[in-house]
Amino acid sequence: MDPVFSDIDSNSCDFFPHSDDEDSRGSLRSASPEPEQQQQKKRRRGRGRGEATVQVVKKNRRLKANDRERNRMHNLNDALDALRGVLPAFPDETKLTKIETLRFAHNYIWALSETIRIADLQAGKTGDVPRLLSPPGLGEAKSPGSDACSWSSSGSSSSSSPAYCASSPGSPAAPEDYSYLQQDALFGFRSFVPGIY
């Protein structure tokens, strides 16, 4: 269990035991900025029993939604941790950030795919020197929103690394020795991760 989550736990409604400051917290949020005058108006008006019930129902709904959202994010983080666990570990031992994890995983998959592709080439044509394709993005315009990893492993694009890998040291231009794949993918990630936009 990630220590980050150890104190939050599943019954996370108790994570904020002080529900009395709910209103003050809400007023801090700029997402729902409400002038103090309007709030006072509401308070004076909303004194009927029915309105109070509505407020309670709304509040309960909000708390439930918060709880679900918390759990959802915890699930997301669990998946991210699982992904970190699959990725190669490094002596550095500093935990990858979320964005680093995603980017590294992406590049790692690409590197593994390239390794397989080259191995296939070698198996098919013995004696033929396998070469990496030129990294995509070289000489081609970067499409808008290309940081959203549109790389696919199918067909002709199977050897295309993500466009944002173009400037990465992990996608050099057709080197003679392709053993860098394993090395960079496994051990060079700190310099491998950044600069992949």
Partner DNA sequence: TAGGCCATCTGGTCCT
Partner DNA sequence: AGGACCAGATGGCCTA
Tell the smallest beta-carbon distance from residue 86 to DNA (Å).
17
Question: Which token pair is 27?
Answer: 């007023």
Q: Which stretch binds DNA (CB under 7 A): 1-9, 46-54, 169-177, 182-190?
A: 1-9
Task: Write down the least CB distance from residue 172 to DNA, Å.
Answer: 25
Instruction: Based on the shown chain and the rule CB under 7 A, indicate whether residue 15 belongs to the binding site for DNA.
Output: yes
88 CB-near residues (< 8 Å, 6+ apart):
108, 185, 186, 187, 189
**52-71 binders of DNA (CB under 7 A):** 61-62, 64-70
CA distance 182 to 119: 13
Nearer to DNA, 178 or 197 (CB): 197
Tell whether residue 83 is a contact of DNA (CB under 7 A).
no
Size of the site for DNA (CB under 7 A): 31
The token pair that represents 134 in the structure block: 């030129």
CB 167 within 8 A of CB 195: yes
Residue 43 touching DNA (CB under 7 A): no
Q: Which is nearer to DNA, 77 or 134 (CB)?
A: 77
Residue 42 lies near DNA (rule: CB under 7 A): no
**Does position 16 bind DNA by CB under 7 A?**
yes
Q: Between 8 and 112, name the residue whose CB sits nearer to DNA.
A: 8
In angstroms, what is the minimal distance from the CB of 71 to DNA?
8
Q: Which amino acid does the sequence have at 173?
A: A
Kindly state the smallest distance separating residue 177's Cβ from DNA, in Å: 32
Q: How far is the CB of 16 from DNA (least distance, A)?
A: 4
Identity of residue 113 = S
Q: Give the footprint of DNA on this chain (CB under 7 A).
A: 4-5, 8, 12, 15-16, 22, 25-26, 28-32, 61-62, 64-70, 72-74, 77, 97-100
